[in-house]
Amino acid sequence: MGQEIERAEIAIIKALENKRVAFVSGGDPGVYGAAGLVLEVAGNKKADIDIEIVPGVTSATAAASSLGAPLMVDFAVISLSDILTPWELIERRLRAAVDADFVIVLYNPQSEERKEPLLKTHKILLEYRNPKTLVGIVRRAKRHGEEIIITTLGEMLNYKIDMVTTIIIGNSTTYLSNNRLITPRGYIF
């Protein structure tokens, strides 16, 4: 974090020198990733270059696959980072999603310096959802040392949550079967 603009500018300058450039961005580059920034920098520089965006697996679906199938219905992905987005807007989106019974995926949940957004989020979620609502917490999804926790909304803050953690809050229909989370689409039951 913090050097993306410089990296994007270097990438565009190199491309303008007719070099082939790969700009690597974790997960899916178009989901809170570098794709938007690179396109914006290219636009600002009026750089007429061919930019291909290669899709990847975003943390939401990587984490979901480790937990079972919690994202089988409508879901909302919300970043709790208030560095580039004001907290008031994050809270408005959070309240809308939880009120509409979306499954909710939380990105950028908590760091050493930034603990308040997750505490506030937890309180807001409990205003709308039962404390027994199922929650999945995945650290280092699909990487060495992956940690997978299935817990409840009431208990979720008792676990290690950091900036390589994705949290999935189930909706009112999410259930546990054979230790896997399922949000049913309604095929069978």
Ligand X SMILES: C[S@@+](CC[C@H](N)C(=O)[O-])C[C@H]1O[C@@H](n2cnc3c(N)ncnc32)[C@H](O)[C@@H]1O
Q: Which residues bind ligand X (CB under 6 A)?
A: 26-28, 31-33, 58-59, 63, 107-109, 138, 140-141, 143, 163-166
The first and second tokens of residue 172, run together, are: 């009112």
Nearer to ligand X, 52 or 184 (CB): 52
Nearer to ligand X, 84 or 188 (CB): 84
Smallest separation, CB 177 to ligand X (Å)? 23
The first and second tokens of residue 57, run together, are: 């697996």
With the CA atoms of 129, 135, 137 and 138 taken in that order, what torsion angle do they form, in degrees rounded to the nearest 10? -130
Smallest separation, CB 48 to ligand X (Å)? 27
Contact predicate 93/76, CB 8 Å: yes
What CA–CA distance (Å, rounded) separates 62 from 71? 11
Nearer to ligand X, 19 or 143 (CB): 143
Smallest separation, CB 100 to ligand X (Å)? 22
Nearer to ligand X, 27 or 170 (CB): 27
Contact predicate 8/41, CB 8 Å: yes
User: Please, which residues bridge with residue 151 across strands?
Assistant: 135
Smallest separation, CB 30 to ligand X (Å)? 8
